[in-house]
Structure 1
Amino acid sequence: MTPAPDLRAIVESTRRRIRAAVVVAIVAAVAAAIPAALLVAWLLGAWTGWRAPSIAPLVLELVAALAAGGLAYHAVRRWLRPLDAPRVAADTESRLGLPPGELRSLLELQHATPPGTSEALIQRAGARLMPQLLGRSARELEGALGERARRRRTLALASLGALVLLVGVLGFASPDRSAASWSPMLHPVAHLSPPPLPPITVEPGNAEVARGSDFEVRVRAPGRTAAAVAWRAQGDVPRQRTLEVIGDNAVAVIPRVETPTTYWVTTPDGARSERFTVTPVDPMLVADLVVEVRPPAYVGRGVERYQTDIPPLEVEEGTTIVVSGRTTRPLAAAMLESADASHALDVDGGTFTGRIVPTRSGVFAWTLRDATGNAPALDPAPLEITLIADAAPQAIVTFPGTDTVIAPDLRQLVAGEARDDYGLSSATLVSWRVSAQGEREPAVEQSIDL
């Protein structure tokens, strides 16, 4: 086998290594345009001219693209295309101290041997040159071209890495500014138009109001100077009112809602809210209010019943007060509340019932609420309860006095008086004897007919 292919293989391998380093350098240099553009965008992010509508992001991207393209064209033309086999061979000759043109001439003769040239002499010259190439390191064979290619590759990769690191640090250090600065780079053409305004919000949306009352609509329209509230009552023509938006807010009033009414809001920029419905409802009324006063048994008085208009109540301790009533709408909660007590009542649809045993005097107000938290149009009058304390019975022995002499038959007439504010049901005489030694004998009880 002749050494000629080996010479070409060595030179071609050296050329590929140099080209690979140059290609990496070009790719890294072109890729560095991306973080460089992001860095410039971050610096421009605080500038008012960067905000939409702005052509600045598009110009920056075009400049970055042109710079990257120009750099790539220059690098390919000046760094990559000149790397042909003769130039690599010449650089190898210079590095290894070979006579100028020796390696290049052999490569040319081996590639195309001229007529009349001795192939044996070419092979002999190649065999003499081969020992000077074998055993050499790749860097020795690459020469100055390889050093420049590696230097450019290192510089390009280092620049790319530094720019990427700097952009990453800025992104973590100031995420809000970074997002605001870099977002326009994703859609530079869309950034030429003003940003869409925030959506309008309407409160309270779907709602119920007392029939015949006015309905207030609250509008929040950021970035607008005007808004229009339109409504249409059932069976009526649409109506509209234009509002001035001050501080992003506006308020409109739909007068006298008598029938279900649909309303919506529009703004000059074309924004439109969804349609909402206002439903009129009749006011809640309280009917069939009944209060029963059930005194304790010892009073000996029957149940007292009051309906609709409840007078102030004077009740004895232990009295049970039973209340009941009905409303024109289903209830969610019902209570009787005083300054220091609260009594929950049972509700079932539009009826309420409950019982309380007051422990002190007070004024008990009614709290009735439907599912939406609305109170009756007219609350019942509060219950005024005065609690009467039960006084203890009083008993006095009127005869005999404190000291007396007993008859020989050991019988003694005893007379006395007993009274109570509600009457007496029974009385008992209790007596006992004390001996001469001062010892008290067991008491004796004797019932007294009243």
Structure 2
Amino acid sequence: MRHRRWLTPLVLLGAFAMIAAACSNSSSAAGGSSGGAAVDCSAAPGCVTVAAGAPIQIGTLLSVSGDNADLGTDSLYGVELAIDHLDGKFDGTPGQIDGHAVQLQQEDDTCSAEGGQAGATKLAANPDVVAVIGTSCSGAALGVADKILGDKGIVLISPSNTNPALTAQGTHNPYYFRTAHNDLIQGAVVSDFAIKQLHAKTAATIHDESPYTEGLTTAFANAFQTQGGQVVDAEVIDSSQQSYTPVLTKIGQKSPDLLYGPDYTAECALILKQGHQVAGLANTTFMGSDGCFASNFIKLAGSAINGAYYSAPNLSAFQQKDFYNKEFIPAYKQQFGTAPLSAFHAHAYDALNLLAAAIDKAAVKNADGSLTIARNALRDAVQGTTDLQGIVTTYSCTSLGDCATAVTIGVYAAPNLAIEGSTGNGQPVFSETKTLAQATGSG
């Protein structure tokens, strides 16, 4: 697998070693561009000043190691392709934002609260980081990276966080946004599939209490019960353990029509492998979610994957767009030597473009070639995004940080998962498009 690292600080260090960039949080007003108004940087959280010829520094906080490396690496590739295409073409040469190169400071969220804290702390310590794309996993963001970065006035845009609490009244950080769907939508679509296509009347749920798994399990259970289904058991597993058999055996005593276990790659594989050994689950349909939707999961699950279902962004909807099918995917394969590793590469591509448009709107272009970016102005520009056309959907950000409008979720019959290592035509067996208002019954 080829992974170009031309955007990392180490590569750009020599090129920019002699460039002195002004400090953020300046105590004086910065002059605007010719004819523009001055920017007051004295009030918190201040400004970032990008010196003439210096790069705009953007952080990434994605899961790029361990069992969930495919999830974050896939998103990182999407970010890199977006930077490549800032000049209007995929040619391996990065484009610019307002005449400035883009430099990535890459940190690993390790798909954990600990990783989110460590990575966000490093990014927050760099006063020149304008904004961050991340995190991969909801647990690395909720009350962790979103707070650490938000306290510094640093915008965080996630391509794959889906936990509803991240954009809920009372728990949303005003500097947090996402291009990923809200799991209130995914839960509603999964419930529709279970009832309309599987004709399931009973379901059991299993999760590891992480923000992602608990949030999606709750969203599904609420929707399923609202539609007349019965949740006969709701169990919790310890992801640090290697045996889920006692919990699965307990679920098997209820013989549910459906076992819904949204989780990440290693846990999804264990649920499948061990669940198939439980007699009481012999006639139960297994179903997971986009956290399992990764190339590594296919390897870990092996033949146990056959016959299970997984919900994720409907990649076939992207494939109907000429740009994705004829330009983006060929560039992804050519530059990285693989088909997409997970389901959120397009969301990451869109996140970087959304951020670039907001930077262009918020930045004051000074006469000496420098940029002054007020952190609150950047947040307001992101929040003010309206009708931005992306690969995944059209984006209009709400005051609570949900930017995706109508979202299309597909349900795939494994092993036909439309990612590297899968087989089949890559088409979902079920698909629905919903807005957040439709999913919650509020519109």
* TM-score normalised by structure 1 residue count: 0.16
Q: Which has the higher contact order (CA 8 A, sep 6+)?
A: 2
- Name the structure with the higher helix share: 2
* TM-score normalised by structure 2 residue count: 0.16
Larger radius of gyration: 1
